[in-house]
Each structure stands twice: as C-alpha cells, then as structure tokens.
Amino acid sequence: METTHRLIFEDARKVRALDDQSIDLVVTSPPYPMIEMWDQSFAEMDSRVNGFLDNGEYARAFEAMHQVLDQVWQELYRVMKDGAFACINIGDATRTNNGRFQLFANHSRIQSKFFELGFDVLPLVLWRKQTNAPNKFMGSGMLPAGAYVTLEHEYILIFRKGSKRKFTTAENKLKRMRSSYFWEERNVWFSDLWDFKGARQDMDSQALRERSGAFPFILPFRLINMYSLMEDTVLDPFLGTGTTMMAAMAAGRNSAGCEIDRGFLEPVIQRIYEQWPLLNRYNLDRIKNHLDFVDKQRDKGNQLKYMNSYFGFPVMTRQEKELKLPFVMSFSERDANCFKAVYFNDQYIQSIKPGELDIKHLTYDHGVQARLF
C-alpha cells in the first residue's frame, strides 16, 4: 500500500489545487479569532480588523475575523464528498475591553456558519487541555463577585456534509471492516470528553511558533481513525507544522494540507523526515493496549469469542475480525511538495518474530502475528 501527501501553498479560502468532492475527511485547527497571537494574521486577510481593534469595537472585530473563516468553511463544502466529516478544533477567547472582561464564543459562531452552509451539526467533544496552572486565577482571586472561571478546555466540533456515507460494493465494505477500531477504543474515543495534554511547539523560528496552534498528534490520529477509511484523503486547510499530515500517514490515509505561509515549508518537511520512523509506534501501542485489555478480560474470566483474522488475537466483536493496522516502511519525495509513504506488506507483518519490534508484551498462542512483542 502507498499513500500520497501534498503540501498546497494556497489561501484556504480558494484552493484551486483541489477538485470538487475530492476530500473524505477534514481535520484542522484554524487561527482563533480574538486571540492576540492571531490578530495580525486576520488583519492581513481583512484590513478592517486592526481598525476595529484599535477603536475598541471588539464585537465587530470578532465578526470580521469569523467572516474570513467563513470563506474557508464555504470552500470545504465544495471539496468535501457527500457523507464526509469535518472536525474543527477551536477554543473560545477572552479579552478585556475598557475594563470589561468578556468571552468570545468562537465555537458557537462556527457551528452557526456550518449549519447555515448546510452541514449537519453533530455532537461535539470537549478537549480538556489543562494547560493552566491550578493556582492561576482570573479576576479577584479569593474575593467573591469578581473572579472568572479559568478556561481549561477547547472544542472539537464535528460536522457532516449530507447524509451518511454509503458502502455498497464488496470492496468498500471490506475496506471499512479493515479500517475498524477496537471495541475498547470506541468506548473512549466516542466519549464527549477527552483529556490529554496539549502539544509542545518545538520549532526553530519564533515567528513560526507565533503563527502555529499545534495540537497533540493523538488528536488528529484519533479523529482520522474514527471518521475515515484507510486510503481515504484527509485535508487540513490550516496545515501549520504538519501534524494532521503525519497522523494521516500513520493511519494509512492520503492527505493534503493548505498553508498560506511558505515559511512553514522547510520546518514541515524537516519534521516529517525526522519523525516519520516514529509513526509506527502509535499503531503498535494500539496493539499493546488491546492485548492488555485481553489480559484483563481473561483475568476476570471473560473469554473474547471472536478472533482477528489478520493479527490472530482475540477481539470483542465480529466487526473487529478484519481489522488491520498499517505500518510505514519508507517515506520519500514524489514531486515538488508531494510525498509518498510506502507500507510494509501483509506477508512481512505476519512474519514478524517476537522482540523484533521495540515494544514488549505477553505473547499469545494464536499464530505468529499475535506474537509481535
């Protein structure tokens, strides 16, 4: 299996490089309106923004910033296939104007626009970032009637274009089965509250750090596995440091990423070349975690009655019987700003002996593939 990954240096409000209905999933985190680090970015796209901010017209600045994003959401509707999902990570903003502290609800403004465009608005996820220190207060500290709740969460907004995706051919049905996730993963992933630490933004350029809103790798990796199939195409219209692209690669999906700032080109390429060999650990961890789950079930006297045909270990449900996970073998440049990932074939994965992969776990007597560790 091979996947391709394209860097597109175009304004996400009009992406000429993408055809109509060519995208299976969108995962992104846009610039956050009314967060100071992105003021200048919005001002470069709408000259009214600086004037509104300078005059203290924060409500008008908020709306002007969102009107910039509205054009991106409109473009997503064009490029997404019917039945495709869009997952938008966004945080609300707080700001003080003329001594009055106020929240700007970015998440609800985006939901309203997607609804207006014709998307189905689906239940969202609260991502608890916990980036603030527990003793960091806003307002009057211990004195009543003057303190403010500390924002420790962001939102993952989820939308679908049109009705449910249909899988009518035998090939598509099999691909869907092979792209399934573990039963115990579903119970965590489809909760409306996620709790993992925010990403560190280890980049060489201070200017790039100021322009990037990096989320942790596990966030797009989880969403990609939840809402797409292997070999689907995932788009991030605000690619930034390339996290979504790398997550798509790890999950065996194709990807495209838009970025208006060419200053991201070198850091993104460098990051991918340095880190792609580490991508396999995420799927290896999924196997390890599943085998831990199997152990715990056995300790409780519960025998899982189904067997995964690819790995040879027990699974909870019939829907997991065909589940397989991709492992990246090589990464190379195909064309300018376009890259190729090649994956180990099934025969190689099924021949892996104990200890060859750098994760240790108990082995099972269910075939060579089950003894990965």
- Residue 146 class from Cβ within 10 Å (0-12 exposed, 13-18 middle, 19+ buried)? exposed
Query: Residue 279: its pLDDT value, please?
Result: 87
Residues in the chain predicted with pLDDT less than 50, given as ranges, are 198-210, 353-373
Do the beta carbons of residue 233 and residue 256 sit within 8 Å?
yes
Query: Residue 272: its pLDDT value, please?
Result: 86
CATH number of 2-278: 3.40.50.150
Axis-axis angle for helices 243-250, 280-299 (nearest 10): 60
Query: Residue 137: its pLDDT value, please?
Result: 59
Residue 307, strand partner residues: 314
Q: Where are the domains of the chain?
A: 2-278, 280-370
| Residue 334 backbone dihedrals phi, psi, to 5 degrees | -95, -55
C-alpha span between 369 and 373 (Å, rounded): 10
136-166: pLDDT as tens digits? 556 667 788 887 888 889 999 999 999 999 9
- Residue 10 class from Cβ within 10 Å (0-12 exposed, 13-18 middle, 19+ buried)? middle
Q: Are strands 2-8 and 338-343 parallel, antiparallel or unpaired?
A: antiparallel
Taken in order 92, 94, 95, 99, the sign of the CA dihedral is positive
DSSP three-state, residue 297: helix
Do the beta carbons of residue 83 and residue 90 sit within 8 Å?
no
C-alpha span between 339 and 325 (Å, rounded): 21
Q: How many CB atoms lie within 10 A of CB 190?
A: 11
311-329: pLDDT as tens digits? 889 999 999 999 999 989 8
3-48: pLDDT as tens digits? 999 999 999 999 999 999 999 999 999 999 999 999 999 999 999 9
Q: At residue 215, what is the residue type?
A: F
Task: Report pTM.
Answer: 0.90
Axis-axis angle for helices 265-275, 243-250 (nearest 10): 30
Do the beta carbons of residue 33 and residue 65 sit within 8 Å?
yes
- Residue 318 class from Cβ within 10 Å (0-12 exposed, 13-18 middle, 19+ buried)? exposed
